[in-house]
Amino acid sequence: MSALVEELRKERERFVAFAFAAAEIFFEIDAGGTILFEGGAVEKIGAGQASGSHVGSTIYDIIEEDDRDVFSALKLHLEHKGRLGPIPIRFKGHGGQNFALRLFGLHMPGENSRTFLALRSAPLGGGVGEQSIDQETGLLTKDGFLDLAATTMAENSAGNNLYMTAVEVDGLEEAQKKFGPKFAKNLLGRMAAQLKTISVDGQMAGQIGDKHFAFLHRSQSDGKYIGESLKNVDDNVELKTAVSTMSADNEMTEDQILRTLSYVLSKFCEDSASVDFDQLTAAYDGMAGEVKERVTSMRSMIESGSFKMAFQPVVSLKTGDIHHNEVLSRFDGKMDQKTPRDVIGFAEDVGMIEEFDIALCNKAIDYVRKMKKLGESLTLAVNLSGRTLESGRFIDEFVSLLSGAKDISRHLLLELTETKAIKNMEKAEAILSDLKSIGYRVCLDDFGTGASGYHYLRTFNVDLVKIDGAYVRDMNTPGYKPTFLLSIVRLCRDLGIKTIGEHVETRFQADFLKSLGVDYGQGFHYGKPEFSPKLNK
Ligand code: G
Ligand code: G
Ligand code: MN
């Protein structure tokens, strides 16, 4: 026996063993699609064979009509690639129902060529929303593709090859003119099936323009192969294709990948001829490089603590006394070109906000202690990103930092921002409630915006609520009625929560807030953020 045949036989045995262990249904078919052998829960599929057996009939009979093109493409690609999957394919069930199965295929070449199919019902990951998929082609929309590609690339572990190929197809319009819209639709469907089948998980393919497509794949040569294969999708149609493949393994966050990909793809759509493999990869790497540089300077900024605290007073509307100062971070050096909001936003995007929050808390704790030694009683509010509470890696460090600073806990307010980043609300609440039990107080930032609403108020047992500045700005519009503001204030009063109005810029706004029963005010009317805190006389 030749080494190749021997290897194939082993491969077959491995595959069969794997298929029976992991698959629920198993088929062996010949080159024409006739079922030669079946195993597993085969009675689940097919419409009404009395015997329940499919042996002797063709596999196409039990595949949902809409997915037959995908299956044809699968068979075609299998001959080239040897094995493929998982790819979602819908099979016919009993009583007109159909259901999606994940299909893995293995092709054994040779005179008596055979194809093995293993089917599993486990759903594909990724959670592609219906609205991200074009119903006619089954391809992802541009945004759907970008989103899912970014997630897939961010989760791709190092060492797993991952490539993205962009494809331009010329001649579709001519085909439509010559053969009509129905034909063109069918042609597009067959092309879509090819792209889907070769893509990662059978679903990482999208249409990003009238004649532009993109897909993620695992072997570099898939790009060129698809380019050739699409040219010949129909004998009567003359198509030209241009492909460009780039390597996609890179350590970037999802958000950065998303931006980079959308830039790279829009360049390709503008002028595919000017973009080749090297240029695409270089454009991508260039952006990745910029991100790396920013991450490096962010890390050294955090480690050296080379950022500053600005302080803005929060004042009692009744007495005019200063209740506390909010700490607003200020950056210099390399970070200086960006606004503080950009720097914080970047830290959130690249997953460094947790480290930053810890560094800032350290600074704030030191500052309060220093002032205490000088005989000044100072209370600070630090912004705390919801991501920090969510982080498995940093939460212990954060909690032990605060536990070790019990001496000043009455002088540190945790101002919770970016609450929409919190997925596990119960866990976050448990952490906050532990911190409250040793004296820290919690303030919910940006209340009344999409980022923070009643939902959070119900879960988090907070001491203060900061009403979003937009509500205060609204007071200046003629005919303003404080309906929402009043309902927030009443609710908070009933719950025993103090309220802060921010962005108070005028005496009028301050008085209005006071008349509504808001407790504290913050804004340019009382003072801008400055490098030394305002203290009560
Ligand atoms: O004062 P300024 O315009 O720079 O603040 C912009 C925004 O940046 C604020 O709304 C605040 O939420 C955020 N911010 C400023 N400093 C910090 C900080 O130290 N930590 C966090 N998480 N956010 C901050
Ligand atoms: O949401 P947070 O409290 O973290 O927001 C603080 C932000 O609001 C900072 O960017 C700060 O510079 C800004 N800010 C503070 N006071 C005022 C004000 O009176 N008017 C406006 N427009 N912005 C303010
Ligand atoms: Mn804030």
Ligand 2 centroid – CA 528 distance (Å):
8
Q: Single out the residue of 21, 201, 25 nearest to residue 120, CA to CA.
A: 25
Whether ligand 2 lies within 6 angstroms of the CB of 503 is answered as yes
The Cα–Cα gap between 231 and 237 comes to 8
Confidence (pLDDT) at 59 = 92
Confidence (pLDDT) at 5 = 67
The residue type found at 494 is D
- Phi and psi at 406, nearest 5°, equal -55, -35
CB 330 within 8 A of CB 528: no
Residues whose CB is less than 8 angstroms from the CB of residue 429 and which lie 6 or more positions away in sequence, other chains included: 459, 460, 461
Angle between helices 277-304 and 340-349 (to 10 degrees): 110
Neighbours of 454 (CB within 10 A): 12
Fill in the DSSP letter of residue 517: T
The label of the residue with tokens 């390399």 reads 334
The Cα–Cα gap between 188 and 180 comes to 12
Whether ligand 2 lies within 6 angstroms of the CB of 529 is answered as yes
Percent of residues in the chain assigned helix, strand, coil, to nearest 5: 50, 25, 30
Confidence (pLDDT) at 499 = 98
Q: Are strands 520-522 and 498-501 parallel, antiparallel or unpaired?
A: parallel
CB 322 within 8 A of CB 314: yes
Task: Please identify every stretch of the chain with a pLDDT value under 70, giving residue numbers as ranges.
Answer: 1-23, 47-51, 122-131, 158-159, 249-251, 255, 274-280, 283-284, 287-288, 333-337, 451-452
Residues whose CB is less than 8 angstroms from the CB of residue 430 and which lie 6 or more positions away in sequence, other chains included: none
Confidence (pLDDT) at 310 = 97
Nearest protein Cα to ligand 1, atom 9: 341
CA 403 to chain centre: 33
SS (H, E, C) 88-154: EEEEECHHHCEEEEEEEEEEECCCCCEEEEEEECCCCCCCCCHHHECCCCCCECHHHHHHHHHHHHH
Residues whose CB is less than 8 angstroms from the CB of residue 434 and which lie 6 or more positions away in sequence, other chains included: 399
Burial class (CB in 10 A: 0-12, 13-18, 19+), 341: exposed
Ligand 1 centroid – CA 382 distance (Å):
9
Burial class (CB in 10 A: 0-12, 13-18, 19+), 480: exposed
Q: Which residues pair with 324 in a beta bridge?
A: 314
Q: Which residues of 288-302 are buried (b: 16+ CB within 10 A; e: fewer)?
A: beebbebbeebeebb
Ligand 3 centroid – CA 375 distance (Å):
27
Q: Which residues line ligand 1 (CB under 6 A)?
A: 328-329, 340-341, 344, 357, 360, 383, 385, 417, 529
Nearest protein Cα to ligand 2, atom 24: 503
Confidence (pLDDT) at 9 = 64
> Tokens standing for 404?
């070790």
Q: Which atom of ligand 1 is nearest to the CA of 445?
A: 12
Give, in degrees to the nearest 5, the angle at Cα 248 between 245 and 254. 135
Q: Which residues pair with 522 in a beta bridge?
A: 314
Ligand 2 centroid – CA 296 distance (Å):
28
Confidence (pLDDT) at 515 = 97
The Cα–Cα gap between 61 and 2 comes to 37
Ligand 3 centroid – CA 73 distance (Å):
54
> Tokens standing for 451?
């980022």
Nearest protein Cα to ligand 1, atom 21: 383
CB 291 within 8 A of CB 505: no
